[in-house]
Structure 1
Amino acid sequence: MDKAMGRRRVILVAAGAVLILGSAAWFIVWLLTDTVSHRLDIPDYTVSYMAVEGSEPWKPGQEEGQGFARAAENDRFRLSVHPDNGQMKVMDKKQGVKWSSNPSPEQVKTEKVAGTLRTNMESPFILEYFEQSKIQRQVMNGLDPSVKRTITKLEQGVAVHYDIAKVNLSFSMYYVLTDDGLEVSIPAKSIKESGPYRILSIESLPFFGAATGEESGYLFVPDGPGGLIHFPLQKELVGKGYNQEVYGPEITNRISDSDNSNEVVMPVFGMKKGDQAFLAVISAGEKSSIIRALPAGIVSSLNSVHAKFVYRQEYDRRLSLGGRSIRVFQEDPLLQDRTVRYLFLEKEDAGYVGMAKRYRQYLTDTGQVPQGPQPSVGGLVPLDLTLIGGDSNDYGDYRYERATTFKQAEEIVTELKKAGIDSMRITYKGWESKGTINPDKRFSPESKLGGGKGLRAFVEKAHGLGYEVDLAVDLVKANPTFSKLPPKSYGIRGVEEDVLLRNDQYYLNPGITYNLAMDMIRDAKEYGIDGMRFSGLGGLLFNDYNPAYNYTREDTAYLYENIQKRAQEVLGHSSVLTGNLYSLKYTGEIHTLISDPSYSYAVDETVPFYPIVLHGSIPYSLTPGNMRDEDGREFLKAIEYGAIPSFVLTYESSRSLMDTFTWGIFSSKFVDWKDDVIREYKSFNKLASVQGEPITDHYRRSEGIYVTVYGNGVSVTVDYNRKEFHVGKEGDGA
């Protein structure tokens, strides 16, 4: 009996060993062959931190009046600091203009507010914090009696260190002069939390340059393409001002601190006062920041605009399966350096056009946008044409419904060539097997369109006509009903580490998106594809709280940028939707650039700030011609903003897409829109001479009449009253 049992043990051990070895072998093979993994062929994103400086105590220099003393000086600017409260001023020596961190004591005395609201006006910061045992926001500022200030010297400025004894919190604010202004930073390594209190947010210089309600000027906010809040007030005050998260709300916290859903695509803000202005660029920590603009009457009699740095997200914690929840805060902070760079402008540059031009210079100097100009075929304005192949229906069998086969696409582009459209970039959408629900997100042309052979033939035809072909792909979102990528393994997770599901979709971990994109780009090259249009990469950032990865919004942006970079290197072209600033470095074109305002009650006027920044470096289209709500007005806006013509078409009637996952295409049949495409192409090509030229000016000549001026002196006058436009030379009286 003992011998038999011994033999069984030997057999079981041997079998177990074989099983283990077999599993290990299978795992090794899987590691070597599975490309849909979290393994990356690029280094992880690394966070670099500012050094904590300022060990030598600051010795106040020459008295500057009202208790301020000189702290630093360069050829153009002088920095003064008040040693008793940490307030600062910057003097533009060339213009004799001072920009102050806070209103003067005389201005504060006239305010009707009291308590914290009043002392906020006198503080260089507003701190929002909470006690761990209580879910309650609390506010404090630099004038609290428990605050101890230590000021030390920096090479071109000072560091003001704040110790807040009663809550055991501390951090530093650095003020450093630059050649064109001032940098204000909160180094991550200067932040200390001990005891039960934690930092939620810090509002940096909330009243910098604040203007009275009687002064003339406006606040600039990145609302849509750009928004102005005029002062004195031009309309009845409604709401709580402008409060928007840069690059949109964080989707993983289930709540938003924004007052609406319109995305902020640029981390900038500014102010114009008389013939002086500043543009503020959030140059570090922008992906977890909020831009706040407060017209006079919201919290004081002053107009102000500033950055709010978020260190912890607020979210709803579920308490039961029935949906009951409580509001809580994250435990771990997002420790990143935070910096705002203030650039000062004067005279004719003191306005939104000057701000946009200065921002364009800043972005090209720092390598965040291409230098330009962008080449065009024969000096022509290119047509941005999207063809929809089809999609799966969403009412039961999920059968693929055709809208444009590859052969039909050949007919469309051939007819457009014969009609005189010589410059065109074609983007094919819904080309994948099963369309936009493409279960495994692989390169697999839909057989009902003609399969791989049909796609290859179409690309060859388009190339023969002088056109380029891109493929539209969505590698950011997936549908759990169809996807072969299990959400638990490949989906991002919310703060409580559960897979985030929204609108019957989940969001792919950025590392998975990266690897899927690498495969897609490689395979597209074999078919002669010229580029990729990436849905999501240019308009959506999020964290992933999966503890195995813990991707931040910075990590996500880094991976998305590298996808675009690879597409440009391998295929030659990468394009995005929306066009958040972080996506511009490797973007060859932006589709449907945001051109509408958020309709925030605070914003008085919409201006083409972003088009001024982009024109001559990156081409962009607005709403496609067959998808406009107000055709005539939106066509003229595209002309005014220097956009390229755009259409989304199908060979069959748009009814073929009615019950599919591609929704919102109400009229797209090529034969119905052919004449409109040709007419608009010819109209836009009246602007051919300004392709590649920067916008140098934009203004309203009179009610309903706007003028855009380009670097070569050509001006485009758009008359919304007569529904026409004119191209000429600036000052020709058109």
Structure 2
Amino acid sequence: MIRFMKAKRNLTALAVAIVLSCMPVLMVFAGQAPVQAKEDKAAENGSQEASNEGQKPAPGKEEEAKPAAANPNVKEPDFPKESAMQIVADNGRYQLKADPKSGHFIVFSKQSEQVWRSYPDPQYWSSQENSKAWRVHLKSPFMFRFVEFKVRRDLLKESNYYEQSGKISSFERINDGFKITYEMPNLGFVIPVQVRLKDDYVETTVLEEGLKDVKEAQKEEAKPNTKANAKSNAKKDPEARLVSLRLFPFFGAQASDGENGFLLIPDGSGALIDFKKDRANTTSFYNERIYGEDWAYSSGTTFSNRLPVRMPVFGIKDGDKGFVAVAHQGAEYASVLAAPSKSFSQYNWTTVEQIYRFKHFQPSNTRRTAGFYTYSKELTAGDRSVRYYLLEEQPDYARMAGRYRQYLMEEVGYERLPASEEGVRLQLHLLGGDTAKGFLWDSYLPLTTTDEAEEIVRQLHYLGVEDMSVVYLGWQKGGYSKAGGHFPVDRRLGGNGGMKRLADFVRSKGFSLFLDARSYTFNNTGRDGFRGSRDGLRDQGSSVIRFRSWNREDETTFVSPRFMEEVVLRDMQKVKELGVDGLLFGDGIGDILNTDYNERYSLTRTESLELQRRLLQTAQEELGRIQLAEGNVYAGKFAEHWDGLSNDYSYDLFVDRTVPFAQIALHGLVSYSFEYANLSGNYTENYLRGIEYGAEPSFVVTSSPSQELLKSKSLNRYYSTYYKDWLEQIVTQYQLYNDALSEVRTEFITDHRALAKGVMETTYANGHRVVVNYNAYPYSNEGLVVQANDFAVIRGGQ
């Protein structure tokens, strides 16, 4: 399924990054390679380059936008005069001052006298280091991209407020800030914006009400659409339409002169781009969709190879001040951008790009062998807001994560884990069965029956595992690779009766049992009354989205989310009758977020997100407990455990450090684990990283020897699962985790830092500290000794 594709894609990305790290000069040019030419060629040939199979380019490749024609009458604007700005809000701690002539603003701290600007710090301005186009970009209150449907419907153009001779039609103060309306008459765009000051943040919003991108006046002047008048009409109204917008993109932007800062991006667990004066010139930058790609626009395109953005956050540290920003409204229709100094300008900056239209392949025949690329006609709805939480005094990534944790509790609904939940749990996944590929026909491949699963749990408990959470994979009819018609439990594993007995046994030991429910996202069996042509997810070209897993063996179909919801709700009672503790969700329920253009079940990306939340909440209420695999932050609040949480990054060359931002934000709210220890590339580093990041140990095993899995083409990822080969390591690792983390399972992480190269320290709210040494030699400092490839624990009060 999708998770196999992700695993292979991530390994490919890592291999590419390692090779490219030896060729830094070549990487500079790789970041400039446009996707456009590849797509144009596919359209001209009447074929699709990639179909719906999730093939993705190496990190750093972004779609190029053509600069809009420069307006010769526009001179380079000046920065706003801060002394002339009006005070529009004051909450006792901060003042918000605005410039009515541009809409730019500053936030002033009365206590520290620090200033946050909606534009780059003028103190370090250098015209020589910025191109003419970027000198205007940097001073503009917003940048945007648009397409001209009557000129070239697949070509993006990039511009800004000043370049289009924009004007302000209204500026008004409101209770806690101001509203401003920007107009660009040449294009017919009207952009209403609101800026508000709250307790410790400033919120910027592109308002849905009043947003326009249609040039009404020139519609009346257009002549009849004859050949003679075609060129004239195109000039009068090229049908310019807004594709995306970056509002105040350079909020907090800073040059690298002091080299005392970083950009925080939501790549993997979190990644930092340090301010560097001597950074090589490059056009590589970060640009990733929040909550991942939308398969409704995937036909004939390529996806990114970077890790998906699970949390809609970013930030900047600049000396003694900084901020962590959250895409608050409309995150599902946004991307996070970040660029280090010398990539486009002298400044380090990061922002949100609000997306209003999407590029897609529109087939022109029923076989999809011909067609063209275009952008969607409809404008995606909703207000789009970003909150900038202001930080003073040591605004490092741990404080940023701590403030985001507070946001999750106050705004998203996360709750603290019960104080009674002490001790570490072994996350044990058992692989039930699958289909073995035969020469003439397929056969069933039992790998771990319910009786054998009971024996594995019994042995681990006898050897010293005091607490565990068991997840049963491949329990459905036909096994792991079959999707659709899950019940009854496959009789060759023990059937419903065997699963009930297993659930009773696991519960008698004080443990819990969950069933893997990720395969509800797909259907390759036709069961549950599913017909692909009727019930499959459709892209904007109205084609059902089918794909093959990376081994090219089996084709499967994305199920329309509304159809999937009906099936899951129908099966809920059957799950309860088995006596299991809950379900493990993922893929199309909490992980993959798609628009659906199936007229029978149509829903927007926002509606898809709400459907997932609704389904997860229902499952939590009906079953009591659920888990989440990989997944996005909007789904995590319903889960008691987050499986497969990333602890790495995408290996972009401009990234300097990976940090546990996600783990600091989540610890104490939900437990989490990383990739299976027995499938990790570096076993020792994997378990040390888990202890450093406050995770729980995770293994996947089978009762059958590992070579049995080779009979199934769907289980290539699971190359070492025989439980007898791993019994000793599982127990040992569980005990190591328990020794390090048993007292802090429900505690917040308050600090994380490097004590020396390869030596990291994590501090918890109760004073508990864990020091991990990744080096091949001991670390010693002020009486603390940590052996090579080991850890040490300093308990609170010691």
Bucket of the pairwise TM-score, normalised by the shorter protein:
0.7 to 0.9
Q: Is the 8 A contact 1:538 1:579 kept in 2?
A: yes
Match of 2:582 among 531, 538, 549: 531
Do structure 1's residue 342 and structure 2's residue 388 form an aligned pair? yes
Please name the residue that 2:489 is paired with.
Answer: 445
**Aligned match of 1:514 in 565, 585, 589?**
565
1:326 is matched with which residue: 372, 380, 385? 372
Q: Does 1:219 align with 2:273?
A: no
Aligned to 1:388: 431
Q: Check if 1:659 corresponds to 2:659.
A: no
Residues 256 and 716 (structure 1 numbering): CA distance in 2 closer, same or farther, change over 3 Å? Answer: farther
In structure 2, C-alpha distance between the alignment counterparts of 1:407 and 1:280, rounded to whole Å:
50
The count of corresponding residues between Structure 1 and Structure 2 is: 667
Determine the structure 1 residue equivalent to 2:65.
none
Q: 2:158 aligns with which of 139, 142, 152?
A: 139
Map Cα deviations across residues 390-413 of structure 1 (whole Å, 9 max, x no partner): 111245523220100111111111
Identity value in percent: 30
Alignment of 1:491-570 (within 5 A): 491-503=536-548, 504-536=555-587, 537-570=589-622
Deviations 1:103-136 (A, max 9, x none): 2556545344344322110111101111221222
Partner of 1:597: 649
Contact 1:709 1:730 in 2 (8 A): no
Matched residue, 1:610:
662
The structural deviation recorded for 1:520 is 2.4
Pair 1:84-2:101 in alignment: yes
Output the CA distance in 2 between the equivalents of 1:446 and 1:235. 58
Which of these residues, 147, 159, 178, is aligned with residue 130 of structure 1? 147
Deviations 1:337-373 (A, max 9, x none): 100001011113x010000001101111124322334
Question: Is 1:373–1:693's contact at 8 Å kept on the other side of the alignment?
Answer: no
Letter in 2 for 1:403: L
TM superposition shift of 1:238: 4.5
Deviations 1:558-586 (A, max 9, x none): 12122221222122111111131110121
User: In structure 1, which of residues 712, 718, 725 is the aligned counterpart of residue 791 of structure 2?
Assistant: 725
Give yes or no for contact 1:85–1:142 (8 Å, CA) kept in 2: no
Q: Structure 1 243/443 Cα, relative in aligned 2: closer, same or farther at 3 Å?
A: same
Contact 1:477 1:505 in 2 (8 A): no
Q: Match of 1:243, as an amino acid?
A: N
Query: Deviation of residue 665 (structure 1)?
Result: 0.4
Who is 2:699 aligned against?
Answer: 647
- From 727, 735, 742, the equivalent of 1:688 is 742
Q: Secondary structure at the match of 1:436?
A: coil
Query: Residue in 2 aligned with 1:30?
Result: none
Is 1:458 the counterpart of 2:475? The answer is: no
Deviation (angstroms), 1:556: 1.5
Letter in 2 for 1:705: V
Instruction: Report deviation, 1:685.
Output: 0.6
Q: Residues of 1 paired with 2:83 and 2:191: CA distance?
A: 26
Note the alpha carbon deviations across 1:521-545, whole angstroms, 9 max, x for none.
2111111110100131232111101
Name which of structure 1's ranges 496-505 and 639-648 shifts more when overlaid on structure 2: 496-505
> Counterparts in 2 of 1:108-507, with a 5 A limit?
108-133=125-150, 134-135=152-153, 136-144=155-163, 146-149=165-168, 150-195=170-215, 196-215=239-258, 216-232=260-276, 236-254=280-298, 259-319=304-364, 321=367, 323-348=369-394, 350-373=395-418, 375-376=420-421, 379-395=422-438, 397-438=441-482, 440-480=484-524, 483=527, 485-503=530-548, 504-507=555-558
Q: Distance in 1 between matches of 2:406 and 2:773?
A: 30
Q: Supply the distance in 2 between the matched residues of 1:617 and 1:121 (Cα, whole angstroms).
A: 39
CA distance in 1, matches of 2:650, 2:744: 29
What is the identity, as a one-letter code, of the residue corresponding to 2:609?
Answer: A
Which position in structure 1 is the counterpart of 2:756? 702
Q: CA offset at residue 289 of structure 1?
A: 0.6
Q: Give the conservation status (yes or no) of the 8 Å contact 2:416–2:670.
A: no
Describe the superposition over 1:611-641 as per-residue Cα deviations: whole angstroms up to 9, x where unpaired: 0011111000111121110111111000100
The alpha-carbon deviation at position 479 of structure 1 amounts to 4.4
- Paired amino acid for 1:560: Q
How far apart are 1:192 and its partner, in Å? Answer: 1.2
Determine if contact 1:374/1:619 at 8 Å carries over to the other structure: no
Taking the aligned partners of 1:370 and 1:221, their CA distance within structure 2 comes to: 25
Query: Quick one: distance in 1 between partners of 2:301 and 2:178?
Result: 35
Deviation at 1:647, TM superposition (A): 0.7
Q: Secondary structure at the match of 2:306?
A: coil
SS of the aligned residue for 2:665 comes to helix
Contact 1:85 1:143 in 2 (8 A): no
2:67 is matched with none
Could you tell me which amino acid in structure 1 is paired with residue 375 of structure 2? F
Residues 527, 481 of structure 1: alpha-carbon distance in 2 compared, 3 angstrom cutoff: closer
Change (3 A) 1:549 1:154: farther
Return the offset for 1:482. Answer: 5.3
Aligned to 1:576: 628
SS in 2 for 1:137: strand
Report SS of the residue matched to 2:134. helix
Separation of aligned partners in 1, 2:334 and 2:520: 23
User: Which TM-score applies when normalising by structure 2?
Assistant: 0.81
Where 2:763 maps in the other structure, the secondary structure is strand
The structural deviation recorded for 1:256 is 6.4
Look up the equivalent residue of 1:353 and give its one-letter code.
Answer: A
- State which of 693, 707, 724 in structure 2 corresponds to 1:671: 724
Question: What amino acid is the match of 2:103?
Answer: G
- 600-609 vs 99-108, greater mean Cα deviation: 99-108
Shift in Å at residue 66 of structure 1?
A: 4.9
- Which has the greater radius of gyration? 1
CA change 1:439–1:65 in 2 (3 A) is closer
| CA offsets 1:694-717 (integer angstroms, 9 cap, x no match) | 101100000000000111111000
Which SS does the other structure have where 1:648 is aligned?
strand
Q: Distance between the aligned counterparts of 1:674 and 1:118, measured in 2?
A: 62
1:44 counterpart residue number: none
SS in 2 for 1:435: coil
Deviations 1:632-676 (A, max 9, x none): 111100010000111101001122222322331001111111111
Q: Say which SS state the counterpart of residue 708 (structure 1) adopts.
A: strand
CA distance in 2, matches of 1:234, 1:432: 56
For the residue of structure 1 that corresponds to 2:209, the secondary structure is helix
Normalised TM-score (structure 1): 0.88
Q: Distance in 2 between matches of 1:519 and 1:129?
A: 44
